[in-house]
Amino acid sequence: MSISDTTFALRTAQPLLTEDAALTALCGALEPIASIPGFGLTYQSAEGLLSHVYGAAATDQCGEAMKFDLDDSGSAVLLYYREPDSPVGKLLETTIRSVLQRLEVERREKLLMDELGSNWESLEAIYEISADILRFGDVKEALQRLLNRFSSLQEGLEAGLFLTRGGRLVPLVSNKKELSPLEWGDLGVLERPIRENRAIVLNDRRAESRRPGSAPWDEAKRIAAVPITARQKVIGFLAVWRHDQVFEFGAPFCRLLEAITCSASMLLESDRLNRTMRENERLAQEIEIASSIQQTLLFGNPPRNVQGVTIASFSAASQRIDGDFHDFLKHKARCLDVLIGDVMGKGIAAALLGAATKNQFLRAVANLAIRSNETPSPDAIVRRAAGRIEDQLIALDRFVTLCYARFDFDRGMLEFVDCGHTGIILHRKQTGETLFLRGDDLPIGAMPGFTCTQQSCLILQGDSFLMFSDGVTETRSPDGEFFGEERLLDCVRAWSSLGPAILLDEIRKRTAVFSGGQPRTDDFTCIALTVLLGDDERPVARTDREFRCDPEVLADFREWTTGIGATVPDGGLDADAVSQLELACTEAFVNCVTHGSDNDGREPVHATALVHRHYITVELRHKGREFDPLEIPDPAFDGSRDSGFGTYIIFHLADEVKYRRDGDINLISISIMRKKVP
Amino acid sequence: MQLTIEKIETVTVVVIPGTTLDASNTKGFKGEVASLLTSGAHVIFDLRNLKFVDSSGLGAMLSSLRQINSLGGDLKLCAMNKPVRALIELVRMHRVFEIFNTREEALRSFGLVVPDAAQA
């Protein structure tokens, strides 16, 4: 048998038929044909066979050629024999076709099984590696471990993980020698795919493209690289390379490389989050320290024993630390200074500056008082304190806004200096007006050469004052809108008749609702003072009456309320006061009927009118269900609801309202100034 | 409560009797108004007699406005005294009701040609 008698050859671009096993199978199938006299069969590696066949064709030693295309990828069988029309030739051709088809099926099955096996191995490897690296606290150590474990899967594999830092690519870990930082341009063929967040695999690099350069893989025969991403951005890449051609970087290997890169991304991101968390913990600690500074050094407690005045204050620290501060200084029984301020900036530095500023004010008051033996004026105090801190504030590039106010209730005078702070809201019951009292001085430290001007305003009975930090008006809604001054003025109008504590509580609740429950971003400070109508005064007249708890008696009840003033010898109430008292008391009486009664009106309403020098108080007592007017929602001002107006009317008309529950008795008292200031 | 009702062309003018509209008489008032409700009615409440209205009375007027509007009609108020006006403004209902100083102005707002009371 000679190869020149009957020759077949296999030529393929795919590896399936270059393997001896496949060639053996094919030749085995051809054995019966080859045993026919005149034909012979030999086989060897496909490479040798092909060169032999082509050599024979070139010297025209072979007969006609037949080519069998296996598929579109170019796999083919080339068959030569000397007699073109020989029946044996036809048989040979048919046999080869069927054998090749069977081989193709087997090849696909094998590929599928290999892939399934590789995937399973990859998953196993990743699981093992991930579980292992979790034990390492340091991300670099964990990544080194990850890379070592991965590269050990394929002998001779070199690997390096690079991260982008300051426009360069810095090696974080590698499995062999230490690597040097690279510029993007050093990546060569890897640059574009990495920048575009694509993986790249180069299996057979030609000799001419393997030139020495800065990158460790420049002379490698096989390279693969996968980008590392975090939050949709490429932050580095993992590259593997070989200087030999052992172990091709096939599909299963590439999938494993991608999975390992994904693990590395997760490790890096997890490390970043951990560091952020630690930073947040540090910040939380700072907030706690600053909050403690604020509570102990920056916020004073309001005095409780100022006769005829009720005072309340409320402070809440924000998530960020601001330099809000406030304090109260009582000079005489009914003379009180209130200082409220805010240092520009955040953090412990601002809190400490706030404490220092407050301290300078306390020292200024003491020093000036010793010198003059009199209570120093607010503007003198502000000037002295400002003189001591101004230079330091300018040097630190900070400034302080503040308002220093003196409430002298005996003189009936408010004197204040407002250095770029929020102003003071005054709600005057006697006129019904609500307005801002402001000064126009610059914050301390804003400009050299601080000056200030003292403002003043009368204090009348029933007046309510609100001092606040900008955190109140700058509370933001989820849409970013500010709570603003107008809403704050509305709060003061609506709730000041119920006293400072309830007013501040309502401001706090309403700003919280307005912000949609978001955490505060700014410190929140409010101080409210109300000059009482005169609790300690003895009434000049008193009348008592009992009414059936029934709307039918409303006409009687109103006649009684409007007649109260007539019993007073010195002229009673003016017309506006009578109208307001009539309407507010009617609403309170209807509340007794609507909300208070469980027993068909059998329990009477006890009404008491106390006429004082400047005001009248009507007190209604009624046994019934607990009814808290503060729980009633605001009415619908668009007219969509009929109810809810009663309580609103009482709060707005009365100069002072008190509600309490005494056993099973509801008690509401409504006070109105007898003479309204025109 | 017996309302005084005048029909002037297409407009029904309701004069509320008595000097008060409060929790003691709003139930009767609502019942009387309900009998006037027709589709597309043009109604004026003439409040000239009222000296006192409380939140119940205000609620009754709001309820009437909503019912009349829901039937495609309209309700306007006129001739209110100072305390009633003060209450309406306190609770901001002057933005909800159309309010006229005189009955003639209210009638004209419904498109009627009416001379001023002083000229008539």
What are A485-531's pLDDT values in tens digits? 999 999 999 888 888 999 999 999 999 999 988 877 777 889 999 99
CATH dotted code for A541-673: 3.30.565.10
Q: Where are the domains of chain A?
A: 6-111, 134-274, 299-531, 541-673
pLDDT at A136: 54
Q: What is the largest CA-CA distance in chain A?
A: 151
Cross-chain Cβ contact A587/B54 below 8 Å? yes
Cross-chain Cβ contact B62/A551 below 8 Å? no
Q: Which residue of A has its CA nearest to B19?
A: A555
From the list A48, A104, A51, A54, the residue with the least C-alpha distance to A80 is A54
A667 to chain B, minimum CA–CA distance in Å?
Answer: 20
List the alpha helices (DSSP H) in B1-120.
Answer: 26-34, 55-70, 82-90, 103-109
Chain A residue numbers with beta carbons less than 8 Å from the beta carbon of B76 are none
> Residue A598 — very low, low, confident or very high, per pLDDT cuts 50/70/90?
low
Cross-chain Cβ contact A583/B83 below 8 Å? yes
Residue A645 contacts B where some CB pair is shorter than 8 Å: yes
Establish if B116 belongs to a structural domain.
Answer: no
Residue A649 contacts B where some CB pair is shorter than 8 Å: yes
Cross-chain Cβ contact B55/A645 below 8 Å? yes
How many Å separate Cα A486 from the centre of its chain?
28
Report the distance separating Cα A401 and Cα A421, nearest Å: 5
Establish if B13 belongs to a structural domain.
Answer: yes
Q: Which of B22, B63, B90 comes nearest A642 by C-beta?
A: B63
A435 to chain B, minimum CA–CA distance in Å?
Answer: 18
Establish if B43 belongs to a structural domain.
Answer: yes
Q: Is the pLDDT of residue A5 over 60?
A: no
Mean pLDDT of A450-469: 91
B1 or A120: which leads in pLDDT = B1
Chain B residue numbers with beta carbons less than 8 Å from the beta carbon of A641 are 62
pLDDT in tens, A135-162: 556 788 888 888 887 888 788 899 999 9
Average the pLDDT over each of A110-119, A320-329, A654-663, B58-67 and give the range with the smallest value: A110-119
CATH dotted code for A299-531: 3.60.40.10
**Tally of helices (H runs) and strands (E runs) in chain B:** 4, 7
Q: Which of A582, A640, A645 comes nearest B58 by C-beta?
A: A645
Average the pLDDT over each of A170-179, A541-550, A668-677, B11-20 and give the range with the smallest value: A668-677
pLDDT in tens, A22-66: 555 665 665 555 555 544 344 333 444 444 444 444 333 333 344
Establish if B120 belongs to a structural domain.
Answer: no
pLDDT in tens, A546-586: 998 888 899 999 999 988 877 666 666 778 888 889 999 99
Cross-chain Cβ contact B20/A555 below 8 Å? yes
pLDDT at A4: 32
Report the distance separating Cα A385 and Cα A361, nearest Å: 5
Q: Which of B24, B65, B90 comes nearest A649 by C-beta?
A: B90
pLDDT at A14: 34
Establish if B119 belongs to a structural domain.
Answer: no
Establish if B85 belongs to a structural domain.
Answer: yes
Cross-chain Cβ contact A552/B24 below 8 Å? yes
Q: Which of B23, B92, B95 comes nearest A593 by C-beta?
A: B23
Q: Domains in chain B: how many in total?
A: 1
> Residue A466 — very low, low, confident or very high, per pLDDT cuts 50/70/90?
very high
Q: Is the pLDDT of residue A633 over 80?
A: no
The interface residues of chain A toward chain B in range 535-554, judged by CB-CB distance below 8 A, are 551-552, 554
Task: Tell me whether domains A134-274 and A299-531 share a fold.
Answer: no
Give me chain A's average pLDDT, please.
78
CATH of A134-274, one of 3.40.50.620, 1.10.760.10, 3.30.450.40, 2.60.40.10: 3.30.450.40
pLDDT in tens, A197-244: 888 999 888 877 777 888 899 889 899 999 998 877 889 999 999 988
Task: Report the residue count for chain B.
Answer: 120
pLDDT at A167: 87
pLDDT at A613: 78
CATH of residue B97 = 3.30.750.24
pLDDT at A38: 45
A568 or A335: which leads in pLDDT = A335
pLDDT at A433: 86
Average the pLDDT over each of A276-290, A323-337, A662-676 and give the range with the smallest value: A276-290
Establish if B66 belongs to a structural domain.
Answer: yes
